[in-house]
Structure 1
Amino acid sequence: MSIQSRNAVVERPTMRQAEQFGLPYLHRMHPLAKLLPTTLALVALFFVHDLYTPLLVGGITLLLLMTGAQVTRRLWLALLVGLPVVTVVLAVTIGFWVEPARVADTPLLFTIGAYEFRFGAFVSGMITSARLAAIVVLAMLSGLTIAGTDLIRASVQQLRIPYRLGYAGLAAFGFVPRFQRELQTIRRAQRARGIATGTGIGARLRRQLTTLVPLMAAALRHADRVALAMDARGFGYRSWRTERHPVPLRRRDWWFGTGLLGVYVSAFVAGALLG
């Protein structure tokens, strides 16, 4: 069983697992070296109004995913075929809402009855849809290559977030598979007792509703155990803590993060000049 399949419920492969199993380079980089440049680029995209910048940023990010991320064939198909198709369709849809007088002097693409769809309307819609596509790809770069546990540990170790908060969040990651097992147990018990049986929409809704109370009770029990365990281990009694799983920020991570930020800045500058 692959690392991704074993960790699909909880998180992506950690840096240690990526090094051990020889995963592509993006998985081996420090999470903050990937997250900070992509987050800055994502926020900056909301303030650009040209077509070239999101195309450049999205293309660079897609190239990074192609060369440095472990991606399934289905996701590759979605990125290389589905995303461009959706972007163009969304651009045409948005273009229908552009005021015709604004684009009256641009070439005519097609007509629908008395309505004339012009190139300027398509470009206007493409600016918005390309920006959305670039935001999606940027979010995927972080989401596909950063393990949640690594990000929390890096935030505690490098960003100096209080470790009591960080490791409470780390414990929450362990709740997800536990809750799934608990939900399966509850549903099996309900089927054995003949509770909320049936195949219709009403039966499915009843099954969902009847699992809420026992699942909430299980969540409270698990939260109480985690709180007692954290208190027993002295969480919060000192301002520092020895790390069992350090996430080191190495020289190659600095170079990668700085270079990625420089590439994105260059893309924004080039887009502004071309636009």
Structure 2
Amino acid sequence: MSLIAADLRHSRLADVNPVAKLAAALIMSVTLLMSIDPVSAGVTLAATLVLLPFAGLTARQLWYRLWPIVVGAGIAAIATVLYGRPSGTMYVEWGILRISDGSIDLALSIFLRVLAIAVPSVVLFATTDPTDLADGLAQILKLPARFVIGALAGLRLVGLLIEDWRELSLARRARGVADAGRLRRLAGQSFALLVLAIRRGTKLATAMEARGFGGSGPRTWARPSRLRWRDAGIVAIAIAIAAASVIAAIAAGTWRFILGL
């Protein structure tokens, strides 16, 4: 069963090969990691948001997936504003707390860069089925099949793990075990979930071994994974966005190659 949300299965990005999506995300991420400046990150983020409708993701769906990253980026930006290396005009200086032009600029750069790296990755992989990704990694990139299939099997058990946690909570509450001692309850329930996960993992490993997943011979694949012209288009768009962000930062005079700092 596909793990893509039902309303995202028919988006234009859903038919793109996951390997091409991975390459596109890496191109933009590596480019952003080469410099700490607000312009390049802002250009990448703006371009991604402009292309968001083609992915089929609404603003609400994007926020649901991104809010932990936004909160983390905000905390990092605030800490940088308050305790970053001072330079330029000093606005506040109180003990180790120093707010200056340099700390504000660095905080803005960090905040935008985190979002510019996270948003394209979330947009691209929200429309990616894990089975398609595993097929692409094993067939196109030639990664070890045992590792890829094992990771896929583990990923597909995440939903069962969440359901087990909910059922354990209801069962313990029905027995009156969950009435007091929140930390003690959390520790006991976590241990019970660990036992269930180990048992299920052992059974799954035995079943996969019986079906020949651990064989040393060449594998066959039910769904061939191939690269097509539309996949090259996604990579080309990523290269264009990365190039535009670098050119804009250099033109604005904000480009700071990170190895040169």
TM over 0.5: yes
- In 2, the alpha carbon distance for the partners of 1:234 and 1:77 equals 39
- AA partner of residue 236 (structure 1): G
CA contact (8 A) 2:43 2:244 kept: no
Structure 2 matches for 1:1-275, cutoff 5 A? 11-13=3-5, 22=10, 24-73=11-60, 75=62, 94-97=80-83, 102-104=87-89, 122-194=104-176, 196-198=177-179, 202=181, 204-275=182-253
- In 2, the alpha carbon distance for the partners of 1:118 and 1:190 equals 53
- AA partner of residue 241 (structure 1): R
CA contact (8 A) 1:91 1:123 kept: no
* Higher radius of gyration, 1 or 2: 1
CA contact (8 A) 2:164 2:193 kept: yes
What is the SS of the residue equivalent to 2:225? coil
Per-residue deviation, 1:244: 1.7
- In 2, the alpha carbon distance for the partners of 1:69 and 1:144 equals 10
Per-residue deviation, 1:112: 9.5
Query: In percent, how many aligned pairs have the same letter?
Result: 26
Q: Which moved more, 1:251-260 or 1:55-64?
A: 251-260
In 2 relative to 1, CA 231–56 (structure 1 residues): closer, same or farther, beyond 3 Å? same
- In 1, the alpha carbon distance for the partners of 2:167 and 2:49 equals 41
Per-residue deviation, 1:139: 3.1
Structure 2 unaligned segments of length 5 or more: list them.
254-261
CA contact (8 A) 1:27 1:146 kept: yes
CA contact (8 A) 1:51 1:130 kept: yes
Listed one character per residue, the Cα deviations across residues 162-211 of structure 1 (whole Å, up to 9, x for unaligned) are 212111112112322222333333333323333x231x5x2x32322222
CA contact (8 A) 2:21 2:125 kept: no
Q: TM-score, normalised by structure 1?
A: 0.73
CA contact (8 A) 2:84 2:98 kept: no
In 2 relative to 1, CA 174–51 (structure 1 residues): closer, same or farther, beyond 3 Å? closer
- AA partner of residue 197 (structure 1): A
CA contact (8 A) 2:146 2:214 kept: yes
- In 2, the alpha carbon distance for the partners of 1:274 and 1:42 equals 20
- In 1, the alpha carbon distance for the partners of 2:55 and 2:197 equals 38
CA contact (8 A) 1:103 1:121 kept: no
Q: TM-score, normalised by structure 2?
A: 0.76
In 2 relative to 1, CA 187–55 (structure 1 residues): closer, same or farther, beyond 3 Å? closer
- In 2, the alpha carbon distance for the partners of 1:144 and 1:245 equals 20
| Cα RMSD (Å) | 3.6
In 2 relative to 1, CA 172–265 (structure 1 residues): closer, same or farther, beyond 3 Å? same
CA contact (8 A) 2:81 2:104 kept: yes
- AA partner of residue 103 (structure 1): G
- In 2, the alpha carbon distance for the partners of 1:162 and 1:168 equals 10
CA contact (8 A) 2:24 2:234 kept: no
Per-residue deviation, 1:48: 0.6
Per-residue deviation, 1:116: 10
- AA partner of residue 130 (structure 1): L
What is the SS of the residue equivalent to 1:160? coil
Per-residue deviation, 1:38: 1.5
What is the SS of the residue equivalent to 2:13? helix
Per-residue deviation, 1:159: 0.8
